[in-house]
């Protein structure tokens, strides 16, 4: 039923029905959560053998002879870097394996840029006036929180089906205060878009007023396909070099959603100059990373095809959950004209758009009925969605039964919020 075509009287009647349904939903006393973009216990269990490697009596020596139990090895184990070189599209010698969180490495790079500048800077970033970073929206809330913390201005750029609006990006980088751009180039958070080859080429080739401009290429979902064919991503480092900007891209990735989200391995990849720059800073923080964890990852995932096979097992767990989101939303909201959502082929999220001005109300209604949703606005800098319409759904963590209840409740809240909104609109025929 196309809700936007109903008369005022029909909408009032529909609201009464929906309110009754909502009351019954609340009476169920649910406690459900669609906010957690993290692997389920079933997914984590796929990496259980990792915990036995190399074992108390096992060989703790890496291929280059390093005793992984000892200090050193800041660059990370060569065999693990070789495994992830292909998936992250970074030559192994230009890939650093460090720590367990790529977000931490992004934070490190931003802080070092703000404190010291990057290769090509004439001064630390902010001393050259206020610093701004482009933020494709909707995007990842933690990227925005990091900039906010460091006092970096954020300029939203709309996402399209092929990546950020590149005309807008090329226009904005003509301002020398614009020092960088956040990119989640594959199965993006939350829209699941993979940047087209042309978008990647334009990012690599564009002229920027700032000589020390950086692309923060957060390839968090590089190998995280869920359905069907993988989506190819152009090689950002190679293209930057080809277009005369070898230092432009910082590539990030991790095994957080491959092995164990709390104890994986993170990666940074870039030009030789940027790698030396980062290692120089990291060497002041630590003598070396946790190489025992790197060794067990290298033994568990000896090459890229082992990663691929492992990700097939993840996909088998995730696929029914993503399918359920689409089935329930389609059944309840399809054809109503009040909602649109993504049908991801990979990544961790579904991006739901409701009528303008309704997202916060949907989140409130759902929260009051015991269904936690990511706060409205979270996918925009400073938590401000100018149209108040985007909601990020994370279906990976709950079991299928819980997910079904949460989605049905959510769909009801979307409809109720939309009907309430339509009833306040003067455009609705009497
Ligand atoms: N980048 C993106 C786009 C994410 O969605 C997430 C987690 O949800 C992360 C980074 C966090 O990565 P890590 O666990 O390696 O810090």
- Ligand 1 atom nearest the C-alpha of 188 is 3
Residue 50 lies in a domain: no
Q: Within this chain, do residues 225 and 273 fall inside the same structural domain, yes or no?
A: yes
User: Which among 43, 99, 140 is the best mutation to test ligand 1's pocket, defined by most ligand atoms within 8 Å of the CB?
Assistant: 140
CA of 102 relative to ligand 1 center, distance in Å: 7
Query: What pLDDT score was predicted for residue 130?
Result: 86
| Cβ–Cβ under 8 Å, residues 341 and 391 | no
The reply to whether 251 and 235 lie within a common domain is yes
Give which of 175, 172, 171 is closest to 130, Cα–Cα: 175
Q: Which of 252, 287, 303 is the last residue of a domain?
A: 303
Ligand 1 centroid from CA 261, angstroms: 9
**428 located within any domain:** no
Query: Are residues 239 and 112 part of one domain?
Result: yes
Where does a domain end: 303, 333, 358?
303
**Same domain membership, residue 326 and residue 213:** no
Q: How far is the CA of 143 from the centre of ligand 1 (A)?
A: 9
- Whether 259 lines ligand 1, by a CB cut-off of 6 Å, is no
Q: What CATH number does the domain containing 332 carry?
A: 3.90.1150.10
What distance in Å separates the CA atoms of residue 41 and residue 16, rounded to the nearest whole number? 40
Q: Is 388 touching ligand 1 by the criterion CB < 6 Å?
A: no
- Give me ligand 1 centre to Cα 103, in Å: 6
What is the chain's pLDDT, residue by residue, as a tens digit (430 residues)?
Answer: 789 889 999 999 999 999 999 999 999 999 999 998 999 999 999 999 999 999 999 999 999 999 999 999 999 999 999 999 999 999 999 999 999 999 999 999 999 999 999 999 999 998 667 899 999 999 999 999 999 999 999 999 999 999 999 999 999 999 999 999 999 999 999 999 999 999 999 999 999 999 999 999 999 999 999 997 899 999 999 999 999 999 999 999 999 999 999 999 999 999 999 999 999 999 999 999 999 999 999 999 999 999 999 999 999 999 999 999 999 999 999 999 999 999 999 999 999 999 999 999 999 999 999 999 999 999 999 999 999 999 999 999 999 999 999 999 999 999 999 999 999 987 777 7
Distances (CA, A) of 338 to 17, 330, 347, 416: 17, 12, 25, 11
What are the structure tokens assigned to 95, written together? 């890939």
CA distances from 402 to 34, 276, 351 (A): 10, 48, 19
Q: Is the CB of 218 under 6 A from ligand 1?
A: yes
Identify whether residues 180 and 73 lie together within a single domain: yes
Q: Verify whether ligand 1 is closer than 6 Å to residue 102 (CB atom).
A: yes
For residue 410, the model assigns a pLDDT of 98
In a domain, 206, yes or no: yes
CA 395–ligand 1 middle distance (angstroms): 16
What's the order of all strands across the beta sheet hosting 178-183?
Answer: 95-97, 266-269, 249-254, 214-218, 178-183, 132-137, 153-160, 163-164
Output the pLDDT for position 128: 60
Find out whether the beta carbon of 37 lies less than 6 Å from any atom of ligand 1.
yes
- Ligand 1 centroid to Cα of residue 253, in Å, is 8
Task: Give the position, in ligand 1's atom list, of the atom nearest the Cα of 140.
Answer: 3
Q: Which CATH number belongs to the domain containing residue 164 in this structure?
A: 3.40.640.10
Instruction: Say if ligand 1 is within 6 A of residue 184 CB.
Output: yes
Q: How many CB atoms within 10 Å of residue 168? A: 16
250 falls within a domain:
yes
| 127 and 220 both lie in a single domain | yes
Distance CA 163, CA 195 (A): 5
Confidence (pLDDT) at 127: 67
Residue 430 within any structural domain of the chain: no
What is the maximum alpha-carbon separation in the chain? 80
How many CB atoms neighbour CB 76 within 10 A?
A: 25
CA distances from 63 to 69, 79, 279, 299 (A): 14, 7, 21, 11
The pLDDT score that the predictor gives to residue 40 is: 96
Q: 157 has which bridge partners?
A: 136
Give the domain extent around 404.
3-43+308-423
26 domain-assigned: yes
Cα(104) to centroid(ligand 1), Å = 10
Atom of ligand 1 nearest to the CA of 38: 8
Q: How many structural domains compose the chain?
A: 2
Q: Is 220 in the pocket of ligand 1 (CB under 6 A)?
A: yes
Same domain, 222 and 371: no
pLDDT tens, residue by residue, 271-294: 999 999 999 999 999 999 999 999
Question: For residue 69, is it within any domain?
Answer: yes
Assess whether 103 and 224 both reside in one domain.
yes
Q: Which of 142, 190, 263 to mutate to test the pocket of ligand 1 (most atoms within 8 A of CB)?
A: 142
Same-domain pairing of 223 and 338: no
Sign of the C-alpha dihedral, residues 311, 313, 318, 320? positive
Question: Could you tell me if 259 and 319 lie in one domain?
Answer: no
103 and 128 fall within a common domain:
yes
97 plus 150 within the same structural domain: yes
Whether residue 48 lies inside any domain: the answer is no
pLDDT score, position 64: 93
Q: Decide which of 303, 318, 339 is a domain's last residue.
A: 303
């Amino acid at each position: 039923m196309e809700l936007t075509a109903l008369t005022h009287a029909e909408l009032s009647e529909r609201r009464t029905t929906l309110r009754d349904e909502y009351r019954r939903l609340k009476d169920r006393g649910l406690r459900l959560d669609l906010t957690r973009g993290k692997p389920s216990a079933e997914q984590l269990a796929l990496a259980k053998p990792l915990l036995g490697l190399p074992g108390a009596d096992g060989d703790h020596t890496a291929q280059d002879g390093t005793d992984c139990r000892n200090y050193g090895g800041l660059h990370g184990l060569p065999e693990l870097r070789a495994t992830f070189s292909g998936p992250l599209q970074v030559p192994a010698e230009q890939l650093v394996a460090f720590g367990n969180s790529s977000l931490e490495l992004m934070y490190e790079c931003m802080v070092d840029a703000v404190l010291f500048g990057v290769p090509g800077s004439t001064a630390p970033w902010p001393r050259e006036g206020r610093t701004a970073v482009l933020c494709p929206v909707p995007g990842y809330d933690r990227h925005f929180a990091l900039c906010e913390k460091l006092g970096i201005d954020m300029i939203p750029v709309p996402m399209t089906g092929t990546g950020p609006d590149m005309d807008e990006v090329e226009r904005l980088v003509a301002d020398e205060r614009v020092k960088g751009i956040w990119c989640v180039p594959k199965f993006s958070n939350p829209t699941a878009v993979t940047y087209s080859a042309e978008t990647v080429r334009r990012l690599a080739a564009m002229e920027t007023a700032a000589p020390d401009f950086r692309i923060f290429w957060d390839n968090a979902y590089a190998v995280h396909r869920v359905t069907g064919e993988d989506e190819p991503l152009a090689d950002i480092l190679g293209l930057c070099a080809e277009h005369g900007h070898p230092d432009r891209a910082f590539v990030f990735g991790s095994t957080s959603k491959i092995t164990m989200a709390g104890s994986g391995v993170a990666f940074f990849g870039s030009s030789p100059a940027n790698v030396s720059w980062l290692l120089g800073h990291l060497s002041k923080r630590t003598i070396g990373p946790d190489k025992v964890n790197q060794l067990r990852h290298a033994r568990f995932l000896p090459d890229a095809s082992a990663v691929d096979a492992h990700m097939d097992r993840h996909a088998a767990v995730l696929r029914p959950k993503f399918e359920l989101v689409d089935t329930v939303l389609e059944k309840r909201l399809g054809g109503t004209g009040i909602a649109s959502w993504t049908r991801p082929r990979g990544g961790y999220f579904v991006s739901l758009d409701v009528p303008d001005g309704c997202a916060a109300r949907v989140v409130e209604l759902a929260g009051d009925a015991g269904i936690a949703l990511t706060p409205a606005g979270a996918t925009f800098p400073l938590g401000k969605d100018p149209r108040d319409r985007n909601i990020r759904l994370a279906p990976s963590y709950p079991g299928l039964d819980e997910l079904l209840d949460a989605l049905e409740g959510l769909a009801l809240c979307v409809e109720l919020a939309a009907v309430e909104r339509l009833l306040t609109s003067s455009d609705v025929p009497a």
